[in-house]
Chains A and B, each alone.
Chain A
Amino acid sequence: MAENLVWGLVNIIYIFLGGLGVGAFFISALFILGGKVDKTHFTAARYGAFIAPLAAIAGALILPTELGHPFRAWRVFLNLVHGWQSPMFYGSWLLLLFIATSFFYALTFVPRQAAPDDARRKTRRTLAYIGLAIGFALGLYYGVLHAVMPARPFWNTPLLPFLFLFSAYASGIAGVILLRGLLHKKSGNADAESQYQNSGYQLLAWILALSVGQLVLLFTFILFGTGFADASMRQAVYLIMPGGVLATDFWAWVVLVGLVVPAAIALFYMAPRLFGERVSAAPRAAEIILPVTLLFGSYMLRYVVVVAGQLTGQAGLNFPFL
């Protein structure tokens, strides 16, 4: 398998890190912009604010190692005449702008005494809006990059940008949940605890929605790919169906561990409040297990998609003749 791969692990890790950054910014901005911002919201927003630029910068640093000529990469940014036809041109600029925005956004959280209504509030909120827009485009870009090629049937679906976007948002939120689970110190204060549970509930709700959303997209992809598409698309989807080389990776890691398990955990701990109007509190174990499984599944999703795409089309399968 490996010898056919033009885009390998470096690219997979890059789009995973980029997605993680986009998602972390997403939840951070949402918590800052959305309604009443209490202390736990702000703490969670702070975690997201720090994850976002770090993940995006890490991705941006690792990517040039797989270029044939890393020191010519600046050409992409200056390719203003013809670049508009290439998704990679857009993505490079979007990533650059996202890194800049998320970096300055993170700076507004750095001082220890930073609070929701401090002097940096206006800057923080403006950057949150800007970063939400850029992050949305960047999250879609990671899918668009792959989806625009009819030569690779597995990728050639408009569902892919949204699959990657949802997965990106979910990974960022998972990162925030993980940091909360690792760093939260139980205080004796009942108010503070209930605030913590409340913001935790909101995070779980997002995880549930995004995981279900991804499952719906994957279901649609498989339904159409196996039944209602042309021969090359059907051949492509068989890679992840039972018997295909990537079937185990897909169903075990992407679907079960990466989507069903986190969704189930989220639903389980949301249930008291969702169905019974009682208090919903996820234990620390859940706050660690859910993100770990989700992040692993999110990484495996990118692994399966990037590898499967390169095994379809002309490379590795029968050359369809006309």
Chain B
Amino acid sequence: MKQTQEAGATPGSSLPDGLEDRRQFLTKFASTTFAGLVAPAVVAGPAQAQTSPSSGQVEAVALYFELDEEDVLGRMTRDLMRALDKPLEQRHWSMVIDLRRCTGCQGCTIACIQENKLPPGIVYRPVREEVEGRFPNVSKRFLPRPCMQCDAPPCVPVCPANATWKRADGIVEIDYDACIGCGYCVQACPYEARTLDHGGFWGNNVAEGPEQYEKLPSLEYGEVHVRARGGSPIGNARKCHFCLHRIEQGLLPACVLSCMGRATFFGDKNDPDSLVSELIAKPNLMRLRVDLGTDPQVYYLT
């Protein structure tokens, strides 16, 4: 059980010391998050630092009740905050997925579709169901497959329009205003992580046209794009981006938060204290198609 207190309670407050500090922390955190949500944040350089709380306050959060064990989400959130304090080029976002814990619920798939307002035909993070063996010795395996954010991405050099590149923090980004939709990057990805957006809407299947929620912009890459008006990202290549617009504001990716098996872990590989760094040191680690030289940054525990 962990309970720490900031020295010196706020005078005149009726709350115990620990709770007052927690309230202060939550107030500051909530206001910065709110500010980040309201103004379309342009995902660029180190300007993000001012919106993230300082690490000193994060470590000293006082908990309201005793916990036997901290939820990994709390650990990862603190890892995330610590990483956001660093300059962008010192972060290296990675993901670890524990295949033993994945139940195949597809909650991450749906959370991702919900978060990014994905149209029919585009799934950034499917969970592949794979059957192994021969009857009677048959087993099933569930394999979530986000974009690997490869360190040697095959999709980047083939782009003729300079619409995709690898950021300094490790995420492979797509410029929705530069992509011409040729599909070369889609062909080049060995993980089938990219898809072309052909302009479908869920409302077309069940109603007269796009549903109201489909007319809202997704905030991918911190930019406002309204598909319903017919522009980008319709016609573009699209893929998982580790919820870049969320992590830049101190929120964990949607798939990480929604994983009921707590099988998906996310963090900064460059931080030796982070959870993902601990997990990447495990012996039962695996990555997909390393033979192709892509150096994927999504690791699997088996």
Contacts and interface: CB of A to CB of B under 8 A. Distances in A.
B73 interface: no
A322 B179 contact: no
B60 interface: no
Nearest to A315: B192
Contact of A68 (B157, B188, B196, B293): B196
A151 B130 contact: no
B288 A321 contact: yes
Contact of B159 (A86, A148, A322): A86
B187 A322 contact: no
Nearest to B198: A68
Interface stretch (A72-80, A191-199, A262-270): A72-80
Given A7-B187, A151-B189, A322-B288, A86 B179 contact: no
A322 B287 contact: yes
Interface in A144-172: 148-152
Contacts of B184: 86, 88
B127 to A, nearest CB: 13
A151 B187 contact: yes
B157 A85 contact: yes
B180 A148 contact: no
A151 B188 contact: yes
B160 A322 contact: no
Contact of B190 (A82, A92, A314, A321): A314
Most chain A CB atoms below 10 A, which of B161, B186, B287: B161
A307 to B, nearest CB: 13
Contacts of A6: 183, 186-187, 196
A310 interface: yes
A319 interface: yes
Nearest to A90: B160
Contacts of B291: 322
A309 B286 CA distance: 27
B181 A75 contact: no
B128 A319 contact: yes
A89 interface: yes
A79 B236 contact: no
Nearest to A321: B288
Nearest to A72: B180
25 contacts: A6-B187, A7-B183, A67-B180, A67-B181, A68-B180, A68-B183, A68-B196, A68-B197, A72-B161, A75-B162, A75-B180, A85-B157, A85-B158, A86-B158, A88-B182, A88-B184, A149-B154, A149-B187, A150-B190, A151-B189, A151-B190, A314-B192, A315-B192, A321-B288, A322-B288
Given A7-B183, A68-B236, A73-B180, 4 more contacts: A76-B161, A76-B180, A86-B159, A322-B289
Across chains A and B, which 9 residue pairs bring their CB atoms closest together, nearest first? A68-B181, A68-B235, A151-B190, A88-B160, A85-B157, A314-B192, A6-B183, A75-B161, A76-B160
